[in-house]
Chain A
C-alpha cells in the first residue's frame, strides 16, 4: 500500500537526531511490549513477520507519524493477539480472561529464552524455482501500486536497475502478509544509480541497492 511508512525519498522530515549513550529501551513499557510481541509470536499460531509489518502499516497515517516506534508495537499487540486467536475482543475489552476459559501453560519458559533468541527463522526456502533474471541483467522495477503489503518502495517503481546478486529463493511478502501462501521466488540485489532515482542533482557516483523479488521486476 502507498502508506506513510514508505518513507524513502520524502523530504521535510528534519535532521537526524542522534542520542548519545542511548539506552536499549527508554521506558520499561517499551521493553515489555517488545518482549510480549516476541513471546506471543514464538508461541506459534497464525502469524508471520510480514503480517506483523502489514499491521503496523495499517495504523491510521496521522497516528503512525505521531507515535514513537514502540507505541506502534503497543498499538499492534492487541490487534495481533486477537487475530492470532489467543485472546478474544471481549477479553481485551474486559481486561480479564473469559469466565470458564481454560488456562494455558506458557510454552516458553525463561530457561528456553536464550535458545529462542539465538534461533534462526529464515524465510529462505530450499525449493527449486526458476530464476527469471541473472546477475548483470538490466531490469525495471514494476510500476505497481498494490493496496496490500509490499516491499517494493515507491521511490524505485518504474526505475531501471541492474541485478548484482541472486540471493536465492525467499518467501514473498505480498502474499505471505495476508496468509495467501509463501509463493517462494528468487530475491535479487538490484543496484539503482542515484541519478536514475533522483535526477540530475544526484551524485553521478552514488547508488542505492534494494533486495527485490522476481514479481517486482520486469525485463527491459
Chain B
C-alpha cells in the first residue's frame, strides 16, 4: 500500500494481529486503518481497508518461507500464471472454435471438460465443466451466491464485481435488472436462466456469434469474445460496434 502512513511496526506485531482467531480481526479498531486510495482509481468493495494487510501477508510469507513450507520462486510462478497465462483469452479461444467448427461445438456441449482440454485448458476450478449455449430465445447467466466459484482455466480469476455483494445477491432475484446495468436489455420473450454455482460444476456461457462476422477468421472472432459475455452479463458485439472488456 503506497499510502501507508502508519509508523513501521515489527513483524511480530503484524503476525500477532493476524493471529489464528477471527476475533483478532474484530478487535482491530477499524478507525486506525486508513482507507486505501489506490492510484488507479478503482472503486470496488473496499470499505476502510486495514492498511497493514500488506504487511501482515508479507510477514506470513516470510514465516512460511523460513520454515521451508513455500518457495518464493514458486509463489512468483503462481502469480505469473494467473496474470499472464490463465485468463479469459482461453475461454475466447474455446468460443471461437465452437463458432467455426460444428463438430467441436457438438463435443463442447456433450463433454465440455474434455473439449476444453483439447485446446490445452484444464486445472483447478475447471474440473467438471458445463457449457451453456445462448440463443435468441435463451439467455444464460452465471453467479456464485455463496462465494466466488468461477471457471479459472477458461476465464482466469474472477473480477471484483463478480465476487461482490451486489452481484451475488441480485443475480438470482433480479437478473434482468443486473443485465440492464451491464447495458443488456432483453425482450420479455427471452427466457433468462441463472446458474448458481453451488457445487463444483463450473459454467462457461457460449455466447451467440454476432451477425456480420461470417468473413472473420477464428483468431479475429476470438478477439471479439469478452470475459463478460462468457459469464453471461453481456452479448458479444459485432466488430464495428466495439467491444467491452
Tell which of A19, A43, A112, A208 has the most Cβ of chain B within 10 Å: A208
* Contact among B38, B86, B173 with A117 in the assembled complex (CB-CB below 8 Å): B86
A103 — which chain B residues lie within 8 A by C-beta?
66-68
Q: CB of A144 within 8 A of chain B?
A: no
Contact B165 A53 (CB under 8 A): no
User: CA separation between A191 and B45, bound complex, in Å?
Assistant: 31
Contact A86–B69 (Cβ < 8 Å): yes
**With A and B bound together, what is the CA distance between A198 and B123 in angstroms?**
36
Contact A93 B19 (CB under 8 A): yes
Residues of A within 8 A of B148 (CB): 69
B60 at the interface (CB under 8 A from A): yes
Complex CA distance for A6 and B38, rounded to whole angstroms: 29
- B164 x A9 contact (CB < 8 A): no
B166 touches A17 (CB 8 A): yes
Per a CB cutoff under 8 Å, which of A21, A22, A63, A124 touches B25?
A63
CB-CB under 8 A for A119 and B68, given A74-B57, A78-B60, A153-B145: no
Complex-state Cα separation, A35 to B157, whole angstroms: 12
Chain B residue total in the interface (Cβ 8 A) = 107
- CB of A32 within 8 A of CB of B43, answer no
* Measured CA separation A22–B38 after assembly (Å): 13
Contact B199 A213 (CB under 8 A): yes
Instruction: Decide: A16 and B164 in contact? CB cutoff 8 A.
Output: yes
- The yes or no answer to A180 lying at the interface (CB within 8 A) is no
Q: Which of A21-76 contact B (CB under 8 A)?
A: 21-29, 31-36, 38-40, 43, 49, 53, 56, 58-60, 62-63, 65-66, 68-69, 71, 74-75
Flag whether B213 is at the interface (Cβ < 8 A): no
Q: Which residues of B contact A10 (CB under 8 A)?
A: 165, 169
Query: Quick check: B57 and A22 within 8 Å, CB to CB?
Result: no
A189: which B residues are within 8 A, CB to CB? 201
Contact in complex: B170, A60 (CB < 8 Å):
no
In whole angstroms, what is the CA distance A170 to B198 when docked? 12
Question: A109: CB under 8 A from chain B?
Answer: yes
* Interface contact B66-A97, CB-CB below 8 Å: yes
| A217 at interface, CB cutoff 8 A | no
Q: Are B78 and A167 in contact (CB under 8 A)?
A: no
**What is the minimal beta-carbon distance from B165 to any residue of chain A, in angstroms?**
4
Is A170 within 8 A of B200, CB to CB?
Answer: yes
Query: Which B residues are in CB contact (< 8 Å) with A146?
Result: none
Tally of contact residues, A, Cβ under 8 A: 109
How far apart are the CA atoms of A65 and B45 in the complex, in Å?
A: 9
Instruction: Establish whether residues B30 and A119, one from each chain, have CB atoms under 8 Å apart when the complex forms.
Output: no
Complex: A207 Cα to B192 Cα, angstroms: 7
Check if B181 sits within 8 Å of A21, measured CB to CB: no
Residues from chain B with a CB closer than 8 A to the CB of A39 are 70-71, 74-75, 78
Check if B196 sits within 8 Å of A29, measured CB to CB.
Answer: no
Q: Would you call B22 and A95 a contact (CB within 8 A)?
A: no
Q: Which of B57, B126, B166 contacts A16 (CB 8 A)?
A: B166
Contact B22 A63 (CB under 8 A): yes
Residues of A near B196 (CB, < 8 A) are: 8, 153, 208-211
Within 8 Å by CB of A28, from B12, B54, B160, B169, lies B54
**Across the interface, which residues of A come within 8 angstroms of B82, CB to CB?**
24, 31, 34, 117
B28 to chain A, nearest CB (A): 9
Residues on the B chain within 8 Å of A26, using CB: 38, 40, 42, 44, 160
CB distance from A130 to the nearest CB of B (A): 19
Check A32–B182 contact: CB distance below 8 A.
no
Contact call B169/A9, Cβ cutoff below 8 A:
yes
Please tell me if the beta carbons of B191 and A5 are within 8 angstroms of each other in the complex. Answer: no
A13 at the B interface (CB under 8 A): yes
Which residues of the other chain, A, contact B38 by a CB distance below 8 angstroms?
26-27
Across the A-B interface, give the 7 residue pairs with the lowest CB-CB distance, nearest first.
Answer: A8-B145, A211-B199, A104-B68, A113-B77, A35-B78, A106-B71, A29-B54
Q: Kindly list 8 other residue pairs between chains A and B, CB separation below 8 angstroms, not including A17-B44, A95-B63, A209-B195.
A: A13-B166, A26-B160, A28-B54, A56-B147, A77-B60, A81-B69, A106-B69, A110-B74
Interface on B for A, CB 8 Å cutoff?
1, 10-12, 14-16, 18-23, 25-26, 30, 36, 38, 40, 42-50, 53-54, 56-64, 66-71, 73-79, 81-83, 86-87, 113, 122-124, 126-128, 143, 145-148, 153, 156-157, 159-161, 163-173, 175-176, 178, 181-182, 188-201, 228, 245
